Amino acid sequence: MRNKGKRNVLGILIDAVDYEAALESIFRAARAHHGAAVSALAVHGLMTGVLDGEQKFRLNCFDLLVPDGQPVRWVLNGLYHTGLSDRVYGPNLTLKVCARAARERLPLYFYGSTPQILAGLRAALERRFPGIVIAGMEPSVFRPLAQQEKQDLAGRVRQSGASILFVGLGCPRQEVFAYEFRELVSMPVLAVGAAFPFLAGLLPQAPAWMQNAGLEWLFRLASEPRRLWRRYVFLNFAYLALVSLQTLGVWRFSTHGRVPSNS
């Protein structure tokens, strides 16, 4: 399948792609040493752009926004007849990128999460992909980086020889990071959400049937109710309501955001 282009979902421009098309875009940028911002976007990530004009501007400047959530894929198929047979799930995309990078000997860098999770992630990836080259791993400092810290981090990533940078900071921080860093590091920057703890085996994933039915949010809510109930209860309802308005043609969602104040 080729990249069928960007489609307006509540004002956020989502790429109608499958895994193969996403991989081609990522590796084309990696081989050319071209900065590219990529995110696997589910309902929560999409809604951060709907509710915040600056985040909408950032997301709509991304090189690739793939439909991570089944409800996002369903809207692409329902409104635009894109014929997507599957979503592009962040953890699976991470594995596919790692597999291909191992075959092509392209070094990878991982930023975000905790030292414990990164150690588990390294062990899991090296066990699964014996040829993988991990150029570096750094945990999050769990606060916004100062300008000099951004420059220093970008320098470490470049000097490592990495070709692709994975970021696991949680939404929307990781999308802000990818937007700011793609040109600083001159490589694809992939915001992949909870892929780090999932692949490290430290956070349980929903069963396949729940993922296929678009119920992964329910599994995660049951796993972390205190942290996630507001996200899923309010944002899922808002998403359904707004998608209904877009489908019925009652509301046209502009793709124009607000230039971030720190840009």
Q: List all residues 6 or more positions away from 222 whose beta carbon is below 8 Å from its beta carbon.
A: none
Structure tokens at 257: 């955001």
Q: Residue 217: what pLDDT? A: 64
Q: Are strands 108-112 and 164-168 parallel, antiparallel or unpaired?
A: parallel
Task: Quote the percentage of the chain above a pLDDT of 90.
Answer: 75
Question: pLDDT category, 88, cuts 50, 70, 90?
Answer: very high
Question: pLDDT category, 104, cuts 50, 70, 90?
Answer: very high
Question: By C-alpha distance, which of 178, 182, 191, 190 is closest to 33?
Answer: 182
Question: pLDDT category, 225, cuts 50, 70, 90?
Answer: low
Half-sphere exposure of 189 (CA within 13 A, CB side): 25
Q: Residue 208: what pLDDT? A: 78
207 pLDDT above the threshold of 90: no
Q: Residue 194: what pLDDT? A: 86
* Mean pLDDT over each residue of the chain, to the nearest integer: 91
Structure tokens at 89: 């799930």
Q: What is the pLDDT of residues 232-255, one digit of tens each?
A: 778 888 999 999 999 998 888 999
- The DSSP call for residue 67 is E
Q: Residue 193: what pLDDT? A: 79
Residue 223 or residue 243, greater confidence: 243
Question: pLDDT category, 107, cuts 50, 70, 90?
Answer: very high
- The DSSP call for residue 89 is -
Domain residues of the chain, as ranges? 13-141+161-263
CA distance 73 to 83: 9
Model-level pTM?
A: 0.91
Residue with the two structure tokens 């992964």: 216
* Helix (H) or strand (E) run with residue 189 in it: strand 188-191
Distance of CA 27 to the CA centre of its chain: 16
Q: What is the pLDDT of residues 122-138, one digit of tens each?
A: 999 999 999 999 999 99
CA distance 88 to 66: 6
